[in-house]
Amino acid sequence: MKYIIFCLFFASLCSASEKNIAIIFPNSFDTSYSAVMNGAKESAKNAEIRLRKNFNIQTIYTPHESLSEKLQELKNKKISGAIIYLEDSKQSALKEKINSLFAENFFVVLLNYDIPESKRIAFIGNDEDVTLRFILNKTRTHNDFNDIACYYLFHGNETERMDIDEQKNYDGINASIFRKLFERFPSKNIFKSRTYSDFFTTYEKTLKQDDNFAVLIMSADVLSNLPYIQRNLDTRLVIAIGGNAQFYGLLKDATLDALITNDYYGWGRIASKLLIEKLSENLDSESPIHLISPIIYTPADLKKFTHDWTLWLR
């Protein structure tokens, strides 16, 4: 009898010292999700040492339209909180579920896109002003800074110029930073293309008419045909926003002057830290909004690029 009581007591202690956390992604296709996950696990390991508690982190793939149901399901399964990676800004309907779960001590951290009116304990995203300042400074290294011609390139099934309504209503990837850049560099040269090579081949004559121009690749998907990209000597400046470990070659051969990517590992590390502190110590962040500087790689940063992605994808 005493042995049974001891076992039950020990089990209750183990349960009390263990927290289960979910990281929810919209799909399983993006390598950046691995970076988020590994960053979160690093924070959890550090917290386990400091707090002498176990933090189990599990990855879940759920489309956005099913998030409310999935969060309730996780709560029913004794999951203590969730880190949610949002792909777009159209998830305001999730606010009520986050708020109701908050009242039940189930806490949520949002990544990439925020729902400001919700009771998420934190939002972690990209500091777009860092990207903007870098591009502005980079263009200043070229002649005729005020006359630079900017070509904005997005991903699309066909290689064509975007019409004015598409430009005004665009709300896809990097939409916010596009508007900030467009305010500084207004341009009629806004295109979409399946690949960068298709774009350059189609509009090479147009590009050569401008002595001083920059190609700002707003959707890294256009760089998917890696073996076929060659740097044209007439290209003045090419900067891509986004990317993954496969883009090493584009930096190595200077196809890209710079690759700007979110610090996904840092996002995961900070999100996990904040959620664990809330669950274990009821600590609230001084500010719920955490804008993290992106990581900027140039051809001179190949060692750092390799180090970071090796860490992120281990």
* Each residue's pLDDT tens digit, 77-99: 999 999 999 988 778 789 999 99
Whether 195 is in a domain gets the answer: yes
In a domain, 50, yes or no: yes
308 assigned to some structural domain: no
Q: With beta carbons less than 8 A apart as the criterion, state whether 178 and 131 touch.
A: no
Q: Are residues 224 and 281 in the same domain?
A: no
Based on the fold, state whether residues 213 and 243 are members of the same structural domain.
yes
Judged by average pLDDT, the poorest of 5-19, 47-61, 64-78, 297-311 is 5-19
- 276: tokens are 């664990």
As to burial, measured by CB atoms within 10 angstroms (0-12 exposed, 13-18 middle, 19+ buried), residue 303 is exposed
Of the pLDDT bands very low, low, confident and very high (cuts 50, 70, 90), residue 196 is confident
Q: Are residues 187 and 100 in the same domain?
A: no
Judge whether residue 49 has pLDDT over 60. yes
279 and 206 co-located in one domain: no
Specify whether 179 is located in the same domain as 99.
no
50 and 98 assigned to the same domain:
yes
3 state SS of 165: helix
* DSSP per-residue letters across 55-97: EEEEEEE--GGGHHHHHHHHHHTT--EEEEE-SSS--GGGHHH
If you average pLDDT over residues 273-292, what whole number do you get?
A: 89
How many Cβ atoms from other residues are within 10 Å of residue 49's Cβ? 8
Tell me the pTM.
0.86
Domain assignment present for residue 303? The answer is no
Q: For residue 161, which of 130, 206, 124, 128 has the smallest C-alpha distance? A: 206
Instruction: Say if residue 286's pLDDT is above 90.
Output: no
Report in angstroms the alpha-carbon separations of 276 from 20, 295, 310: 10, 25, 26
Q: Identify whether residues 75 and 134 lie together within a single domain.
A: no
- Does some domain include residue 313? no
Please indicate, yes or no, whether residues 253 and 275 belong to a single structural domain of this protein: no
pLDDT at 233 over 50: no
144 within some domain: yes
113 within a domain of the structure (yes/no):
yes
Are 44 and 138 contained in the same domain?
no
Do 242 and 229 lie in a common domain? yes
The CATH number given to whatever domain includes residue 27 is 3.40.50.2300
Report the number of distinct structural domains present in the chain. Answer: 2
Same domain flag for 9 and 118: yes
Q: Are residues 164 and 289 both part of a single domain?
A: no
Residue 115 belongs to what domain range? 2-127+263-293
Integer Cα distance of 48 and 17 in angstroms: 10
